[in-house]
Structures are given as structure tokens and as C-alpha cells.
Amino acid sequence: MIGVTENLAKTNALVTKLCHDYERDAGAVRLIAVSKKHSAEAIAAVAACGQHDIGENFVTEALDKRAALADIASLNWHFIGALQSNKTRSVAENFDWVHTIDRLKIAERLNAQRPHHAAPLKVLIQINIDGETSKSGIAQDAAIDLAREIVQLPSLELRGLMCLPRPTATLTEQRQPFARLAALRTQMSDALGCALPDLSMGMSGDLEAAIAEGATQVRVGTAIFGPRPTTAGGN
Ligand SMILES: *Cc1c(COP(=O)(O)O)cnc(C)c1O
């Protein structure tokens, strides 16, 4: 796991440098290590280096790793995958964050299923920022209505917005969808009269663009854990 800890140190250094370059406060950007299809041992290795925010896409796979790592109490688990209704209970019971809320039904189920002794589940609304037909995420023009409903749910805490843009090649192109997400967050925050502190945007390939446009959470997999194995995995 030496490679993983070196990669983590490099990624942290890059985030720090980009915060400096774009005049963001040091510590304004939270790094989430995305470990889908990587082992519990790899997560333990980054946790030992102080990386406690972990992102997972598949419920069953995540629960197996969470069980294997139960003795590491300090981990924060972020659900960043597509969430089906029949998996909401496991997510409500086992995760700290959900980044991919795109319909009220899922939010209502998470709210009802969040254990009463637990802190409210922190959630982000996923926006289909490029308006792609086959993509998850809610359309930009429907997002404020969804947000109005979500803020009524007492066991959820609406923290902001998330997006997963279509891949593009240049920094200029990469910044455009992130700028749109940031603008929508401001518009939503004004409409609702509440702070929405978080923008979850940016991955291994578009980290700079995301930090330039105000990301507060970046979701980085490959740059930390290496390429994902293509076989195993699934939901
Ligand atoms: C896999 C994944 C990531 C991490 O992507 P990398 O390119 O490996 O950094 C980030 N966000 C989401 C939603 C993902 O599914």
C-alpha cells in the first residue's frame, strides 16, 4: 500500500497548491477518497494517513468494507453512486453523507429510515449539469423545488449540490459546468433563505477546474488508489 499512501500525499499537496493558486482558504476543500472496487485494506492504508472521508458507489460492496473496518471509528462514509429505492435503508443506517439525491421519493425514504439516535444525514442534490438525457441528476430548473421539499425533512440536512459533468479536455471547458453548479447553488441559497455550504465537484481528471470554481468537496479515486479493476464489483 506504499503507492496508495504516496498518491494520497501527492493529492493532498495538489489540493493545497490549487487552493493557494485560486485564492481559496487552506482547508476549504475536503478530499473524499473514492474507493469503489478497491479493497478494505486500501481504505485502512489511507485512514492510517489521516484520510477519513471515504466515497463509495455500491451499497453492498460498501457495507462489506464498512464491516471489515468497523474498528476504525473515525471514518466518514459518503455515498456517491446511483441510489435505488430498495437500498435506501442500508444507506440511511450506514452512511454519513449522500451526494446523489435527485428525486423526492429517495429523500423521503432516507428521512424516514434514518435512525433516530443518529445525526441528520447530510445530503447533496445531484444536478444533471449538462442536460444529458441518459444521465442521473435532476434538471437545473427543477432543482429549487426539490430543495424546498428536502429542507422540510427533519432527518436530512441539505448541504448543497453535486455534479458529474461530461468529460471534456481543456481547463476552460471543464470549468463551465462547475461554474453553472456554483451559480445554481447561489440562486438556490437565496431562494430558500438558507446557507448551502457545499459544492461536491471534481474528480482525478478535473480537480483544478473544480477548485477554481469553488468546490468544497472533491471526489478522487484513481489518483489515490490507481486504476480500478474492471471485473469485480457491482451492487
Ligand atoms: C468513481 C467516481 C469518482 C472518482 O473518479 P476518479 O476519476 O477515479 O477520480 C468521483 N465521483 C463519482 C460520482 C464517481 O463515481
pLDDT of residue 163 exceeding 80: yes
Q: What are the pLDDT digits (tens) for 170-179? A: 999 999 999 9
**Once rounded to an integer, what is the mean pLDDT over residues 155-172?**
97
Q: What are the pLDDT digits (tens) for 40-95? A: 999 999 999 999 999 999 999 999 999 999 999 899 999 999 999 999 999 999 99
User: In this structure, which amino acid lies at residue 133?
Assistant: T
Is 28:16 a contact under the CB 8 Å cutoff?
Answer: no
Q: What are the pLDDT digits (tens) for 23-33? A: 999 899 999 99
**Residue 193 CB neighbour total at 10 angstroms:** 7
3-state SS string over 107-128? HHHHHHHCCCCCCCEEEEEEEC
What atom of ligand 1 comes closest to residue 228's alpha carbon? 8
What percent of the chain has pLDDT above 90? 93
pLDDT for 26 equals 85
Q: Dihedral, CA atoms, 34, 40, 45, 49, nearest 10 degrees?
A: 60
Using CB atoms within 10 A of its CB, is residue 35 exposed (0-12), middle (13-18) or buried (19+)? buried
pLDDT for 235 equals 45
pLDDT for 234 equals 46
pLDDT for 231 equals 63
Average pLDDT, the chain: 96
pLDDT of residue 116 exceeding 80: yes
Does the global pTM surpass 0.75? yes
Q: What b/e sequence results for 136-159 when a residue is b if at least 16 CB atoms lie within 10 Å of its CB, and e otherwise? A: ebbebeebbebbeebeebebbebb
> How far apart (Å, rounded) are the C-alpha atoms in residues 113 and 234?
24
Indicate the DSSP class of residue 214: T
Residue partners of 84: CB distance under 8 A and separation at least 6: 235
CA of 148 to the centre of ligand 1 (A): 28
Is 34:220 a contact under the CB 8 Å cutoff?
Answer: yes
Task: Place 1 in a pLDDT band, splitting at 50, 70 and 90.
Answer: low
**Nearest protein Cα to ligand 1, atom 10:** 219
Mutate-to-test residue for ligand 1 from 181, 219, 220, 225, highest number of ligand atoms within 8 A of CB: 219
CA of 191 to the centre of ligand 1 (A): 30
What atom of ligand 1 comes closest to residue 34's alpha carbon? 4
CA of 20 to the centre of ligand 1 (A): 24
Pocket (CB within 6 angstroms of ligand 1): 34, 36, 57, 80, 164, 203-205, 219-223
CA of 210 to the centre of ligand 1 (A): 13
CA of 107 to the centre of ligand 1 (A): 22
CA of 202 to the centre of ligand 1 (A): 8
